Structure 1
Amino acid sequence: MSNSLTMNTFIKKNFLLENKFSERLFHDYASQMPIIDYHCHLPPKEIASNHTFENLTKIWIDGDHYKWRAMRTFGIDERFITGDAPDKDKFIQWAKTVPYTLRNPLYHWTHLELQRYFDIDILLNQDSASQIYEDATAKLQTANFSCQNLIKNMNVEVVCTTEDPIDSLNYHVEIKNSDFGVKVSTAFRPDKAILITSDTYLDYLGKLSQVSNVTIDSYKALCDALSLRLDYFEENGCTLSDHGLSYVPFRTFTDAEIEAIFQKRRVKKRLSLEEDEKFQTSLLLFLCEQYHSRNWIQQFHLGALRNNNARMNSILGPDTGWDSIGDYSQATTLSSFLNALDSRDKLTKTILYNLNPADNEVLATMIGNYNDGKVKGKMQFGSGWWFLDQKDGMNKQMNALSNMGLISCFIGMLTDSRSFLSYPRHEYFRRILCNLFGQEMQRGELPEDFDLVGKIIQDICYNNAKEYFRF
């Protein structure tokens, strides 16, 4: 280890902070604010059981398709990524890749996470890999590195996971009845009920029928089943929904058409694009009106082109690193959909996220169409996510929001992660945020008023989300 490079010229106290204004905003205003992680994919089972991970690979590489894509690009054999290679060998192959991730956010995240969780202050590479693996794995066996402590030690106040309507929420109940001390909620994600052309749609209806105790033999019965699951989620503290869609469709329809489409799918007949979009429009409108009546918040994650590599998807399944940014048309149908809800006064608080940076200004201006003055920041342009949760993506999202809306009302960052080691991403965001404001203070484009600017920084980091979500 004596020959390993340290981070003393890299991730230091003022990492990403380019002047005295940025430094003061971060250290005096942003850094100590609690974290509200209002959208993530952490497994509640592991929180409920206060799981401890066997080794660094299990917690850090398994399931992380960001790392997997980088390793594949670098020429690492799949055996060392998702295959049967020993865990330490997988880690060494990741460490071998890390120096060549320069300028990819993985390089920053990797070293932030080693520092913040394990107090490891050397650069990860093939030479340092073995000792880092052993040191971090040893720490993971201690009580301070259980899942619950990994969350608490990062000053996390709220975690909101994401569950399907058929989920029992039994682990959320366990967590609620424990002495964990961090609020863990969930978001209702009914995409599998909406995406009617999916190959597994009819199997899914059977599962939904079973958990809701509703025979789903009509479109109305489907709505009844989903309404009962909404009741169940609400009884267990849920106040938030989420949809991961390529785009929000909008087609006019009649009730008779929707019932005919549903019955056509039940007998396994192929639907046209028009039928598919009519069904999705109808069910989304039903669900969004339900969210409004319950005073929930709805989220739309838009723009992913999923499962591009058919060969590897057939081997490994979804969420294994074969997705990319889509170039769907968003504006027209999204506006029509939101307008249909607003016209009935049934548009609840809404967060719109885009995956294609070309849509930044589209969404930044779209939210302004449906703010009604009744709720501060009712319509939100969500933070950069997935391929955009990096320095350039965050800056572009915040600049678009600043130029075309009010960044002062922004609810800030989320992890959108399945990893218990992802909370330094909030620090990463806060440093980028403070540097954005600090640069303009230095240039005289913002006043040297730390009471004003510092408060807005704290609002974006925490206060706005605290008020918006009412957790």
Structure 2
Amino acid sequence: MLRELHLHPDRLLPTESGIRDLARELYRSVADLPIVSPHGHTDPSWFATNAAFGNATELLLVPDHYLFRMLYSQGVRLADLGIGGSEADPRAAWRILAENYHLFRGTPSRLWLDWVFAEAFGIDVRLDGETADHYYDTITDMLATEAFRPRALFDRYNIEAIATTESPLDTLDHHRAIAASDWGGRVLTAYRPDPVVDPEFQGFAQNLARFSQVSGKDCDTWAGYLAAHRAMREIFKDAGATSTDHGHPTAATANLSATEAETLFDRVKGGDANAADAELFRAQMLTEMAAMSLDDGLVMQIHPGSFRNHNARLFESFGRDKGADIPTRTDYVHALKPLLDRFGTESDLSIILFTLDESAYARELAPLAGHYPCLKLGPAWWFHDSPEGMRRFRRMTTETAGFYNTVGFNDDTRAFLSIPARHDVARRIDCGFLAELVAEHRIEDWEAADLARELACDLARKAYRL
């Protein structure tokens, strides 16, 4: 039996009628504001070439690890979904998603995808095994039209700016092609040095050799290695970067002397480092990156707390970033102290902290950001980029850090069309939270209206220097 796909206009808004009325009014005031997407992982080649997306599976399933990790948890083979370069039939992969779409009931993925199906493609029946081919054909046919090319979608959804994320080993050719084109979309890069700052990153020694080549600096010495980072950061800035991004296992920082740092670097570059050496080197490099940010003005993002590629067999077969990353406990108070002892009072330095450990929100992160001038709190991230996760973030941080020590919303996604869907969810949740504050007479209605706009796009512009 075919079931109707209908997006309720009050979805995610408070259930109490009076508060919901105010939340509706706030939401209407921000629903159509520009999207500022200052951190994410979309592919810059999409915007450089403006080539049509091939099919529904290529656009919506393959880039979205939220989807295939859930399917994998229920016994679906990643090879059957076309993940990791496997040559699965895309229609067959889409049918697997459709037949298992019930698995996503109650999840943010269901919210995002239903929005995409209804709002982007105008589909009015629910996805299931019976409608799988209808969905696949409708979406794939529409993707072949000019209206669904990447640049047209960028403009259609009023994206003001979007940041991709590249390593220092990237040539940035796609960003140069975008800049040289006659298209006006603002696509930025962000400096993500993990492959050359993490001694436990696969191929680290080879990455250092490549780093020497692309930077023109001798990365065989500590001084040359630091000079390579400075040189590449300038190249990234020239390509539009306003931020750096650091995906370390922990939030550990260090403040070694130059001699100690040089000795440590000699150990890690030669492959003689143990796990403690690797952690100390990553810790020192966060402090070095903060020093460079103070010099060149790039905003620094720290994304710690993920045990990446936890499934060893999956990593061996399919490589990195295949949905097997698991949150871990994270200590920020002690871990950040060496960096903050050196730079915590620098108001010209901007460090945005993220977490996968929600227990740290009220205990550590909000008090830290509510004190140190250099710190801001990133929004609910990854596993917590969800209605309940966003509510928990606001409830656990606002009283101590306020709104203005946070940075609005960023979508942090590889799935292009989930960007407007995710921003819509964030705006609805924030408007509901603000409406509750007004109903409790904690803020005035005009303050809520100001804050709704700030949270929707203004704070992100300011925080990421856009």
**Which category of TM-score, normalised to the shorter sequence, fits these structures?**
over 0.9
What is the deviation of 1:99? 1.7
TM, length-normalised to structure 1: 0.92
Aligned to 1:42: 42
What is the deviation of 1:94? 0.4
What is the deviation of 1:252? 4.7
Tell me, yes or no, if structure 1 residue 394 matches structure 2 residue 396: no
When structure 1 is superposed on structure 2, of 156-165 and 281-290 the one drifting more is 281-290
What is the deviation of 1:92? 0.9
Uncovered stretches (5+) of structure 1, i.e. residues with no partner: 372-377
Aligned to 1:232: 235
What is the deviation of 1:168? 1.8
Residue-by-residue CA offset, 1:155-204 (whole Å, 9 max, x unaligned):
11000111111222121111122232221111111112221243411100
Pairwise CA RMSD: 1.8
Tell me, yes or no, if structure 1 residue 441 matches structure 2 residue 438: yes
Paired residues for 1:266-277 under 5 Å: 266-271=269-274, 273=276, 275-277=277-279
Aligned to 1:416: 412
What residue identity is the alignment partner of 1:136?
A: I
Looking at structure 1, the residues matched to 445 and 456 of structure 2 have their Cα atoms a distance apart, in angstroms, of 15
Aligned to 1:374: none
> Which of 424, 443, 448 is matched with 1:453 structurally?
448
Residue-by-residue CA offset, 1:272-315 (whole Å, 9 max, x unaligned):
50x33432333322221111111221111121111111111100
Looking at structure 2, the residues matched to 74 and 198 of structure 1 have their Cα atoms a distance apart, in angstroms, of 29
What is the deviation of 1:328? 3.2
Aligned to 1:304: 306
What is the deviation of 1:138? 0.7
Tell me, yes or no, if structure 1 residue 205 matches structure 2 residue 203: no
Residue-by-residue CA offset, 1:191-219 (whole Å, 9 max, x unaligned):
12221243411100011001112222211
SS at match of 1:245: coil
> Which of 121, 124, 130 is matched with 1:121 structurally?
124
Looking at structure 2, the residues matched to 332 and 388 of structure 1 have their Cα atoms a distance apart, in angstroms, of 24
Taking structure 1 as reference, are residues 341 and 76 closer, same or farther at Cα in structure 2, changes over 3 Å only?
Answer: same
Taking structure 1 as reference, are residues 180 and 450 closer, same or farther at Cα in structure 2, changes over 3 Å only?
Answer: farther
What is the deviation of 1:90? 0.5
Looking at structure 2, the residues matched to 78 and 42 of structure 1 have their Cα atoms a distance apart, in angstroms, of 21
The runs of at least 4 aligned residues of structure 1 exceeding 6 Å deviation read none
Looking at structure 2, the residues matched to 465 and 346 of structure 1 have their Cα atoms a distance apart, in angstroms, of 17
Residue-by-residue CA offset, 1:315-350 (whole Å, 9 max, x unaligned):
00010111111123332111332222236x486111
Aligned to 2:17: none
> Which of 5, 20, 27 is matched with 1:7 structurally?
5
Aligned to 2:75: 75
Looking at structure 2, the residues matched to 90 and 182 of structure 1 have their Cα atoms a distance apart, in angstroms, of 32
When structure 1 is superposed on structure 2, of 381-390 and 167-176 the one drifting more is 167-176
Looking at structure 2, the residues matched to 402 and 358 of structure 1 have their Cα atoms a distance apart, in angstroms, of 15
When structure 1 is superposed on structure 2, of 295-304 and 194-203 the one drifting more is 194-203
What residue identity is the alignment partner of 1:46?
A: W
Residue-by-residue CA offset, 1:430-462 (whole Å, 9 max, x unaligned):
1111112223434x3445x44321111001101
Aligned to 2:460: 465
Query: Is the 1:57–1:91 contact (alpha carbons within 8 Å) kept by the matching residues of 2?
Result: yes
Instruction: Count residues with an aligned counterpart.
Output: 456
Looking at structure 1, the residues matched to 351 and 256 of structure 2 have their Cα atoms a distance apart, in angstroms, of 24
What is the deviation of 1:104? 1.5
Taking structure 1 as reference, are residues 215 and 148 closer, same or farther at Cα in structure 2, changes over 3 Å only?
Answer: same
Query: Is the 1:409–1:460 contact (alpha carbons within 8 Å) kept by the matching residues of 2?
Result: no
Aligned to 1:135: 138
Uncovered stretches (5+) of structure 2, i.e. residues with no partner: 15-19
Tell me, yes or no, if structure 1 residue 281 matches structure 2 residue 312: no
Taking structure 1 as reference, are residues 268 and 408 closer, same or farther at Cα in structure 2, changes over 3 Å only?
Answer: closer
Q: Percent identity?
A: 25
Looking at structure 2, the residues matched to 189 and 78 of structure 1 have their Cα atoms a distance apart, in angstroms, of 27
What residue identity is the alignment partner of 1:412?
A: G
